Amino acid sequence: MRAVAAFVFLASAGLLTAGLVGAGASSSPPADVASSADVEKGREIYERCGACHSLERDRVGPRHCGLFGRRAGSVPGFVYSDAMRESRLFWGRKTLDRFLTNPLAVVPGTFMGYAGIPDPKEREQLLDYLDVATRGEQCDAAAGSAAKTDGDGRGRRGDVRD
């Protein structure tokens, strides 16, 4: 999975299509990899989230580094609603897609008072961006400092339960 994320990151940076990484690199990604245009559009959509969220640090909402596979309501030191802590959700693409459609319907009582993203294509693009960004260098550096507080230091990245 890290290889796929790295491929998408390099493709979104234009390094693969420019031929700067690896001889014989294809300009078209495999079918299961988001296009760089979708990742870029997802980054633009994520800017809407920036008032409350950040990749590497908590704001009004919890940080998103290590998001995929993490149990909802489990970022150390962040104050969650009882509803979120008790939701028994694990964040993966399917769960996030449902949640981002209508957060209050999926977790009634959540502190996240956001109406959601009704457009399925926008949700998909946002998830494409998060899939790349939350596994990138910015989050790897943040994980190093979080390892001191979360016990295993892995952020439960591989434990996706969708």
What confidence tens digit (pLDDT) does each residue in 124-148 have?
999 999 999 998 888 887 776 555 4
Asked if residue 19 is part of any domain, the answer here is: no
Give counts: helices (H), strands (E), the chain: 7, 0
CB atoms within 10 A of CB 33: 18
State how many domains the chain has: 1
Which structural domain range is residue 88 located in? 29-150
Asked if residue 4 is part of any domain, the answer here is: no
Comparing C-alpha atoms, which of 132, 66, 68 is closest to residue 94? 68
Asked if residue 78 is part of any domain, the answer here is: yes
Q: In the 8-state DSSP scheme, what is residue 156? A: T
Asked if residue 77 is part of any domain, the answer here is: yes
Question: Does the predicted model carry a pTM greater than 0.85?
Answer: no
pLDDT level of residue 113 (50, 70, 90 thresholds): confident
Asked if residue 143 is part of any domain, the answer here is: yes
**Residue 119 scores a pLDDT above 90:** yes
**Residue 154 scores a pLDDT above 60:** no
Asked if residue 75 is part of any domain, the answer here is: yes
Asked if residue 100 is part of any domain, the answer here is: yes
Asked if residue 34 is part of any domain, the answer here is: yes
3-state helix, strand, coil in the chain (%, to 5): 45, 0, 55
**Residue 29 scores a pLDDT above 90:** no
- Which CATH number goes with the domain that contains 103? 1.10.760.10
Rounded to whole angstroms, the Cα distance separating 125 from 121 reads: 6
- For residue 134, CA distances in Å to 45, 104, 112, 113, 116 come to 15, 24, 20, 23, 20
